């Protein structure tokens, strides 16, 4: 992990093609290391999540190259390594498990981030119909002591189609249903980091299962 982190710190300080080309071998080495970590995570997650198949880790790891065509920020590279492990790989839009390494911004996440409208509506409807079950998940002692739900894009009012006087309307205002846990570089560099990540992902599994049940009602899924 230390070699990965050091490479990303160097890239953060020198986010340009010349430096990247000069350090291409280190990039390839650390990328391969992260792919191996992703493979280990896939195999471990399969023990407690029946939805996760055998994956090529390359289908789960995000590219380091940024698409700058329509961005004012023209830096060519991301300064993180991240893998999203889910039913169909990183792009399939199903609940999954995300591992992110970045200098000063390491975190784990689960659930589903920014689902399309039909999936988001299905999740909200399922929460509306199964509120007690969802609250039980959120209030589980281990879950509650580890995770927060991503809420930076949360609606300020009730979503369309749901009663504004619903007692738990706050639960329906999320645009993403994604528990996350930040951790520091000291935690990342400990020898048991993989065990730590797997233990947290295991705690996320019931939340992901709830979302899968919600998405069963989406046509075509």
Kindly report, residue by residue over 85-106, the tens digit of the pLDDT.
999 877 777 999 999 999 999 9
Q: What is the fold of 2-215?
A: BirA Bifunctional Protein; domain 2 (3.30.930)
Helix (H) or strand (E) holding 185: helix 185-188
Q: For tokens 């023209």, what's the residue?
A: 74
- Confidence band of 124 (pLDDT split at 50, 70, 90): very high
Provide CB contacts within 8 A for 93, sequence distance 6+: 112, 115, 116, 119
Mean pLDDT over the full length of the chain: 94
Tokens describing residue 152: 């930076």
Q: Cα angle at 175 between 173 and 181, to 5 degrees? A: 100
Tokens describing residue 169: 């309307």
Q: Decide if pLDDT at 12 tops 90.
A: yes
pTM: 0.93
């Amino acid at each position: 992990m230390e070699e990965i982190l050091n490479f990303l710190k160097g890239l953060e300080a020198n986010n340009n093609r010349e430096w990247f080309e000069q350090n291409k071998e280190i990039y390839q080495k650390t990328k391969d290391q992260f792919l191996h970590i992703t493979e280990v995570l896939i195999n471990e997650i399969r023990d407690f999540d029946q939805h996760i198949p055998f994956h090529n880790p390359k289908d789960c790891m995000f590219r380091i190259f940024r698409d700058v065509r329509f961005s004012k920020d023209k830096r060519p590279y991301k300064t993180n390594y991240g893998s999203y492990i889910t039913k169909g790989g990183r792009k399939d839009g199903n609940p999954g498990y995300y591992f992110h390494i970045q200098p000063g911004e390491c975190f784990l996440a689960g659930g589903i981030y920014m689902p399309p409208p039909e999936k988001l509506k299905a999740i909200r409807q399922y929460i509306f119909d199964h509120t007690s079950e969802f609250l039980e998940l959120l209030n589980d002692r281990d879950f509650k002591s580890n995770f927060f739900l991503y809420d930076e894009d949360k609606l300020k009012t009730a979503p369309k189609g749901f009663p504004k006087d619903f007692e738990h309307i706050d639960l329906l205002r999320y645009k993403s249903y994604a528990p996350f846990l930040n951790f520091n570089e000291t935690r990342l560099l400990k020898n048991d980091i993989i065990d730590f990540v797997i233990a947290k992902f295991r705690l996320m599994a019931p939340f992901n299962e709830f979302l899968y049940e919600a998405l069963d009602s989406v046509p075509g899924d």
